[in-house]
A = this chain, B = another copy of it.
Amino acid sequence: MAETATTQLSELLAQGDPVALRELFASLPESDRTHAAGRLPTQDLARLLDLLGSEAAAELIEILPLSQAAAAIEEVEPKAAAEILEELSSNERADVLGEMWEDDRQAILDASETETAREMRALLAYDADTAGGLMRTEYVALRSDQTVSAAIDQIRREADAYASYAIQYLYAVDLQGRLEGVVPLRALLLARSEARLADLMVRNPVVFRVDDPLETLDFVFRSEGFLGAPVIDDGGLLVGVVERTAVDDAAIDEAESDHMKSLGIASGEELRSMPPLERSRRRLAWLSLNIVLNLCAASVVAAYQDTLQAAIALAVFLPIISDMSGCSGNQAVAVSLRELSLGVVRPSELAHVLSKEAFVGVLNGAALGAMLALLAYLWQGSAVLGAVVGLALAINTLLAVSIGGTTPLLIKRLGWDPALASGPILTTLTDVCGFFLTLQLASTLLL
């Protein structure tokens, strides 16, 4: 069925029949819409957005990967693109615009309604992963001296304008628009109609400032139960509301992007709908650097070519020691990353991590070294060879978990992204140490 949807979509796009396209789209479950549209090259996706009409196009944008949606919108004629974006909520709109090239973004803003364009320029001034960049500007603010019935009347009058988003809280402000408190919808429901918002509101609620980073927002939302929090500017004016869902989505995106970056995919983003040359380029940047890092480790081997020549069986074990040490080190990296994100370890606590890892390093080093020594002895029939590779693996396991456990903390202290750099730095270091240990031990003990 999914296959049929993809085929049908291509056919209808080729025919350029907007009515049939809209019917097909309306009939498809969402997963099929994502799947079929996600396959289209950018130009075709742009054409689809154009033909669908602004409302259905906006719905499609919400379920597509952001980079893909932004790339397609760039190809839509600015006036039509502005109409599509008008259907999105303010923060989704800012996300899409933020992903676009400057020229395309300006063209769309110029074609947008004056009020929207003004608001968007204000939102785009904030970094994407801050409270300002994640907040939406649609919210219900009421003067704190209003009564419950006046508040309900106002919500009712503007019900249509609010219909597209879920109100959970009202925000009580003073005459100047400075935030005074938060009124949960439930409190409004249960209050007497002549009560004033000032009597119901939660004073001193959790408030974010426009430049609070995603990390702070994520930490607060993960530990508190509320669904959204007000955002104020430097003057204390209420300027937006950041919702839990926006923060969660951004945190998930960041985690995925970090994972991709840690594997050397530039910008942490790749989809197979991107042009092949672009995909190749994103992956190659780091792979090319990795060859150079690998040469560092390889030059250790080169320095010991004579040793290797004399005991060629060592060459069989070098890749094993490299791979095993890399695995042990990456386990320690993962535990540090998790503990950092949970807040149970802090970047300054190197000694604590070292002491904890050293213990496991000694245990696992002994176990793995003994295993490899035994296997090498049984396989190659040389006890000394077994001792060399076993000892090398044992020591290198201890080094690998020590380096692996502490590197994320060090990188975090430098203000970089700990997930990004741990892998390559770690692998190079453990390879250099592992090869050196094996070959130096061999030249001492074996020859």
Contacts and interface: CB of A to CB of B under 8 A. Distances in A.
Interface in A1-35: 2, 30-31, 34-35
B334 A291 contact: no
Interface residues of A, number: 110
A301 B316 contact: yes
Interface in A138-183: 152, 155-156, 159, 165-168
A103 B339 CA distance: 29
How many copies, total?
2
A256 to B, nearest CB: 6
A335 B263 CA distance: 10
A256 B392 CA distance: 31
Contacts of A305: 312-313, 315-316
A372 interface: yes
Contact of A290 (B249, B323, B435): B323
Interface string A45-75: 0000000000000000011010000000000
A411 interface: no
Contacts of A309: 309, 312
A316 B265 CA distance: 26
A372 B287 contact: no
A332 B126 CA distance: 33
A222 to B, nearest CB: 7
A322 interface: yes
A240 interface: no
A190 interface: yes
A306 to B, nearest CB: 9
A437 to B, nearest CB: 14
Contacts of A317: 298
Contacts of A444: none
A335 B265 contact: yes
**Most interface-central of A308, A343, A359 (chain B CB within 10 A):** A343
Nearest to A393: B291
Given A189-B188, A346-B2, A265 B331 contact: yes
A427 B34 CA distance: 32
B219 A272 contact: no
Contact of A156 (B190, B226, B256): B190
Contacts of A185: 185-186, 189
Interface stretch (A76-84, A114-122, A127-135, A275-283): A275-283
Interface of A: 2, 30-31, 34-35, 38-39, 62-63, 65, 152, 155-156, 159, 165-168, 184-186, 188-190, 219, 222-223, 225-227, 244-245, 248-249, 251-252, 255-256, 259-260, 263-265, 270-273, 276-277, 279-280, 283-284, 286-288, 290-291, 294-295, 297-299, 301-302, 305, 308-309, 312-313, 315-320, 322-324, 327-328, 330-331, 334-335, 338-339, 341-346, 352-353, 356-357, 359-360, 363-364, 367-368, 371-372, 375, 379, 427, 431, 435
